[in-house]
Structure 1
């Protein structure tokens, strides 16, 4: 049976210890950690989270590296680029220190980043050298600009460099891009969530316009053997929704996705379509 994981920040500002307990109680077996100090007032010291999650019976699938203003500096000869490279290098080292196998990375931000460049490629190569020494994976996530992934993957080959597929990003930013057809063989992580195609709402699968039957067949076709990983957040709050009720709903949706996980088995499409209604 597949395992189920969820992003540790699912939209409710509750203390981390309580959050991990609720995630486990809902049925999830693993978490994706947000490796930033952005929510430190609620989340506390991020370096304490791996042990806290494991103490509550959860495995840690990966960390999400920070989404900083300096991301686009990666591609320029600038102090911002130096700073972002330093941040990412620290995240790779933290993965090794905390026995976390993968760091998920954004390589651009917004609609108008600078173009892909040799400077950026050299920065990524240096980060990969660190990752290879420490046996850590770097998974690059699909965003608004597919040309960055095309440029990196066509110029760098490493067993430690792979792909994080984000279903919501493809649906609202680059519909029809079919990243799984391009990079399914490099798949190292999943960010599964839904939206209506207009914005990145991080809704629970089944609440938006994604064709999950078709998508999960594609994921199955890649041979990916990792967890069913949700990156959902309660961005559109419902009256009376609690952390526990939200997680229960999310876990139910994750279980329904299993109907599509095995490409060679009969898919329970009717059940999922009834669920969407």
Structure 2
């Protein structure tokens, strides 16, 4: 049986308890969270979210660490340690909440600073912490996939792996075949579609991704977690004017159909 998951934000402003109830009623098994405080005025204290989701019958697949100023991790900036501390706190929070994986960005934007040994040492520190806390770090593909290669070539750990973002590959690095390169390290999925011109987070089938190929490659990996969507109705041309219930049902039916 295919287990499915979805990011708890999918484009509709709904009370947290109702949100998780609707997600579960649509047939999803798990959720992933944004693990920052930027939206505290709306979602409240993020530390309450895991309990609310579990009360609704959902598992927690992973959390997404904030990536504001993440490029500093490669530099000698005095603020770089703040980024390390932020990521370290995400790892600690995952351990405290019994969440298996934190998803991390290695870069942000089009022109990050070059990869450095200093940055690598900081990532090694985070991996060491993750090993001690029994938490996985999944590095997400972005605009510059060579940073993944740099880290994976220099750090080997059962707690360090890959988060495959289908939308990012399609609009930022089409043709790189990241699942063939890092499928043996796959720890998390961010599945969504786009037309190749931008990061639109559409339901699969509403873009130009060849899902037959993507699904086949995912099935060849050792990944056994939920097939997890990171979609919203905000840039959709097919699903923008429907209710939250209808959107969730359509999303879950589509991803299940692809992976059955």
Alignment of 1:1-277 (within 5 A): 1-68=1-68, 70-236=69-235, 238=239, 240-259=241-260
**Structure 1 unpaired stretches of 5+:** 260-277
* Structural RMSD (CA): 1.0
- The answer (yes or no) to whether the contact 1:164–1:189 under 8 Å persists in 2 is yes
Inter-partner Cα distance in structure 2 for 1:134 and 1:223: 23
Off by >6 Å, runs of 4+ in structure 1: none
Q: Distance in 2 between matches of 1:220 and 1:25?
A: 26
Paired residues of 1:168 and 1:202 also in contact (CA < 8 A): yes
Question: What's the TM-score once normalised by structure 2's chain length?
Answer: 0.97
For the Cα contact (< 8 Å) 1:2–1:226, is it kept in 2? no
Q: Is the 2:233–2:240 Cα contact (8 Å) retained in structure 1?
A: no
The structural deviation recorded for 1:157 is 0.3
The higher-RCO structure (CA 8 Å, 6+ apart) is 2
- Report SS of the residue matched to 1:114: coil
Q: Displacement of 1:14 after TM fit?
A: 1.4
Q: Provide the C-alpha distance between the structure 2 equivalents of 1:240 and 1:185, rounded to a whole number of angstroms.
A: 39
Q: Distance in 1 between matches of 2:15 and 2:76?
A: 40
Please tell me whether the aligned partners of residues 14 and 42 of structure 1 are also in contact (alpha carbons under 8 angstroms): no
Aligned residues: 258
Q: Which residue of 2 aligns with 1:263?
A: none
Q: Which runs of 5+ in 2 are unaligned?
A: none
Kept in 2, the 8 Å contact 1:96–1:136? The answer is: yes
Q: Distance in 2 between matches of 1:228 and 1:208?
A: 18
CA distance in 2, matches of 1:113, 1:25: 42
**CA drift at 1:239:** 5.6
Separation in 2, partners of 1:8, 1:27: 14
